[in-house]
Amino acid sequence: MAKQQETKHATNQPNKKIENLEPDKEDSTGAFMTTDQGVKINDDQNSLRAGDRGATLLEDFILREKITHFDHERIPERVVHARGSAAHGVFKVYKPLNKFTKAHFLNDTATETPVFVRFSTVAGSRGSTDLARDVRGFAVKFYTQEGNFDLVGNNMPVFFIQDALKFPDLVHAVKPEPDNEIPQAASAHDTFWDFISLMPESAHMIMWLMSDRAIPRSYRMMEGFGVHTFRFINDKGEASFVKFHWKPLLGVHSVAWDEAQNISGKDPDFHRRDLWEAIESGAFPEWELGVQIVPEADEFKFDFDLLDATKIIPEELVPVQRIGKMTLNRNPDNFFAETEQSAFHVGNIVPGLDFTNDPLLQGRLFSYTDTQLIRLGGPNFHEIPINRPVVPIHNNQRDGFMRQQINKGKSSYNPNSLGGGDPVQAKAAEGGFASYQERIDAKKVRARSKSFFDHFSQARLFFNSQSDPEKNHLIDALSFELGKVKTVAVRQRMIGILSLIDRGLATEVAYALGLKVLKPEQPINHSIPADGKVADYQPTQVESSLASSEALSMKNTIKDSIISRKIAFLVADGVDERSVNGVKDALVSGGAVVHVIAPRLNAVIGMNNKEIAVDESFLTAASVLYDAVYVPGGKNSVATLEAEANAVHFLNEAFKHCKAIAADEQGLQVLEATYFANKLPSDFSDETVLTEGIVVNGDLKKLSEQFIQAIALHRFWEREKPRQVPA
């Protein structure tokens, strides 16, 4: 299927990684079936027996081979980020960045660097729902001409903890509880909030996790962040600090929590399917790569520490420069071979980039190779096609399980004379990687810098930057999650932490939990050294130099297109074909995907006896799987639909989830059968449409225009204000 995309390829160069994968691909079209040894098989239905009712013979190598392979098909899932989906694509830089970095792929504007990108949830297992409230992984492997660079980030710019030593604790706390393995893919349980309530440094991340960012509408509509501060190194050996951002060209959008829970039942593969279908249809997802660059000299200029992964650099302080674009334009051919076996490592960097001393990053540098050793079974996982670079590998590493490369010659050591001294080391000028020579003069200590002790100012900045609907969602999310916690003392301790972020927030959540905001307990900070004074190691309360930051609210995101958005048309026999086709044509030419949904499958007969193909029935479709709904007229069609509970429910849910809804003059009759009939706007002017998201118009051209504008706005959260939406 991916082959069809050749013609739609948004870019114009052959993708070197796809070429590199080609020799390993297998295509059975027109071929004989064989064993793994290449022997043609003439009966794949019956094992070899002593007589047709007798015992199976051990000599049946066909049976033995097939069952043995099957028995060994599974590998361990990733210990975190087990559930994921991936795609191939390319990255191209806009202009050379040589002032800051010598990395070739960030300087050569002519080259399209192949990428493989895997998106994931963190806590759930491989088969868990895509719509869990969770952080999303955003891992990009750049197959550059200088080797692989992996930017292994998330869709949130900060992290729960400051030191990698706490990572196993965090993950043990969020994963299903160890006695009964409950709950799957959810943080709403005691052990997670027990840990969080004792880890004040997680406060900022918790604000992100409880926000709508944790329930994206699509992987294609998420930001990505490298999280840590990295280093850029130019060809003079000068360094600057850099933070990486991915900015989606479709904007950042989310679903409602009630919707997320429903999608988990109706289509747990919602994000996987969405990514796959968008790429198959040629609606290639795109992100711009952004960088925030801080000169070395400004390292201590901020009221937070650049090495602290629980902090952002607000965009008001250091703007994000957009330096290039990534386009995902090809689905994998095989999920296991590519997506499952892809092995990312934050330590895979190329000349022109380097690490910083962020203690979270430093610990990650160990963890990723280590985990691949157990997951992929040995030290040669870099040879698996999806992981190998597009440049040759020459070194003296040898052997190990599943070695693919056939190294020639006698010498596998350096220095050597028998092999002519090869392979030779490359000088920095020849592209050899040379680590940045950071000056360090320090005692070896187990301690945390005091510059890491402000845990609340940026959590507050995040909360203060949210729009009212976003704040309400955050309060609801915390009330839901803590409501699922059974231990009241944990809930109470969390209210204490929240009160250190924002008193109003804590009061609202406490109200929902039937608790009071008490004076918070002394938050525990785990960085107390054996001989340290506890008082010195308590979190500090610092005011952020900023009251709010625009980039933190999804309200300010791009809302200018309906590309790849899914629109449901509710129809029945007798529908007005002109209304269906007119509005459909307008939406499809705007890039949207239209599904016709009817009481039963196959087709409906319109009022002018024309057949209209049906994509889904009310049984197989659900409102939560669409971005907007249209009800075309036709006397008999609307009469059927207004009496059809599933159609009315479809609309009620769309209204509840704040989606754009449209009807032509006759279709209005069906809207009048919903619970929101008495909330329909009194006029359908352009202005009302843009605030209320409901379009009714007899003029199909005008209707289509207004509907397109409304869909582009994504959601009409103001509708939630009266908080009176059942469904």
Strand, helix or coil for residue 694: strand
Enumerate residues 6+ apart whose C-beta is below 8 A from 127. Answer: 83
Sheet holding 616-617, edge to edge: 616-617, 593-598, 566-570, 628-631, 660-663, 694-696
- The residue annotated as part of the active site, out of 81, 104, 245, 455, is 81
- Give the shortest CB-367-to-ligand HDD separation in angstroms: 4
- Give the shortest CB-542-to-ligand HDD separation in angstroms: 22
Dihedral sign computed on CA atoms, order 295, 296, 299, 305: positive
Supply angle C-alpha 395, 401, 406, rounded to 5.
45
- Give the shortest CB-168-to-ligand HDD separation in angstroms: 7
- By beta-carbon proximity to ligand HDD, the closer residue of 376 and 647 is 376
140 binds ligand HDD (CB under 6 A): no
- By beta-carbon proximity to ligand HDD, the closer residue of 81 and 243 is 81
User: Is 345 an annotated catalytic residue?
Assistant: no
Question: CA 330 to CA 116: how far, in whole Å?
Answer: 10
Question: CA 241 to CA 304: how far, in whole Å?
Answer: 14
Q: Which amino acid is at 401?
A: F
The only residue of 21, 115, 151, 164 in contact with ligand HDD, by rule CB under 6 A: 164
Query: What residues numbered 196-255 form the site for ligand HDD, per CB under 6 A?
Result: 227-228
Contact map string, positions 455 to 494, toward ligand HDD, x by CB under 6 A = ----------------------------------------
User: Is 380 an annotated catalytic residue?
Assistant: no
Residue 375, marked binder: yes
Could you identify the residue written with the tokens 């064989």?
34
Nearest alpha carbon to residue 333 among 90, 26, 9, 81 = 26
Question: CA 111 to CA 100: how far, in whole Å?
Answer: 19
How many residues touch ligand HDD under the rule CB under 6 A: the total is 26
Question: CA 573 to CA 264: how far, in whole Å?
Answer: 31
The only residue of 152, 174, 263, 376 in contact with ligand HDD, by rule CB under 6 A: 152
Interacting span for ligand HDD (CB under 6 A) from 75-83, 206-214, 496-504, 645-653: 75-83
Residue 78, marked binder: yes
Query: What residues numbered 94-123 form the site for ligand HDD, per CB under 6 A?
Result: 118, 120
- Give the shortest CB-124-to-ligand HDD separation in angstroms: 13
- By beta-carbon proximity to ligand HDD, the closer residue of 307 and 658 is 307
Residue 364, marked binder: yes
84 binds ligand HDD (CB under 6 A): yes
CA distances from 177 to 77, 180, 261 (A): 18, 6, 21
Question: CA 125 to CA 129: how far, in whole Å?
Answer: 9
- By beta-carbon proximity to ligand HDD, the closer residue of 100 and 381 is 381
Output phi, psi for 170, to 5 deg: -60, -45
Q: Return the HEC string of 111-140.
A: CCEEEEEEEEECCCCCCCCCCCCCCEEEEE
Query: What residues numbered 329-348 form the site for ligand HDD, per CB under 6 A?
Result: 342, 344
DSSP state of 527: T
- By beta-carbon proximity to ligand HDD, the closer residue of 157 and 633 is 157
- Give the shortest CB-228-to-ligand HDD separation in angstroms: 6
DSSP state of 288: E
175 binds ligand HDD (CB under 6 A): no
The only residue of 139, 198, 293, 661 in contact with ligand HDD, by rule CB under 6 A: 139
- By beta-carbon proximity to ligand HDD, the closer residue of 147 and 153 is 153
- The residue annotated as part of the active site, out of 15, 148, 154, 155, is 154
The only residue of 175, 364, 493, 656 in contact with ligand HDD, by rule CB under 6 A: 364
- Give the shortest CB-458-to-ligand HDD separation in angstroms: 15
Strand, helix or coil for residue 596: strand
Enumerate residues 6+ apart whose C-beta is below 8 A from 239. Answer: 231, 232, 233, 296, 354, 436, 438
- Give the shortest CB-161-to-ligand HDD separation in angstroms: 7
Dihedral sign computed on CA atoms, order 643, 649, 650, 655: positive
Which residues in 360-379 are b (16+ Cβ under 10 Å) and which e? Answer: bbbbbeebbeebbeebbeeb
Question: CA 208 to CA 206: how far, in whole Å?
Answer: 5
The only residue of 98, 125, 371, 405 in contact with ligand HDD, by rule CB under 6 A: 371
Residue nearest to ligand HDD (CB): 137
- Structure tokens belonging to residue 276: 């796959």
The only residue of 368, 480, 537, 675 in contact with ligand HDD, by rule CB under 6 A: 368
Annotated binding-site residues read 78, 118, 167, 364, 368, 375
Annotated binding-site residues for heme read 78, 118, 167, 364, 368, 375
Which positions lie near ligand HDD, rule CB under 6 A?
78-81, 84, 118, 120, 137, 139, 152-154, 159, 164, 167, 227-228, 309, 342, 344, 360, 363-364, 367-368, 371
Q: Would you please indicate which residues are annotated as catalytic (active-site) residues?
A: 81, 154
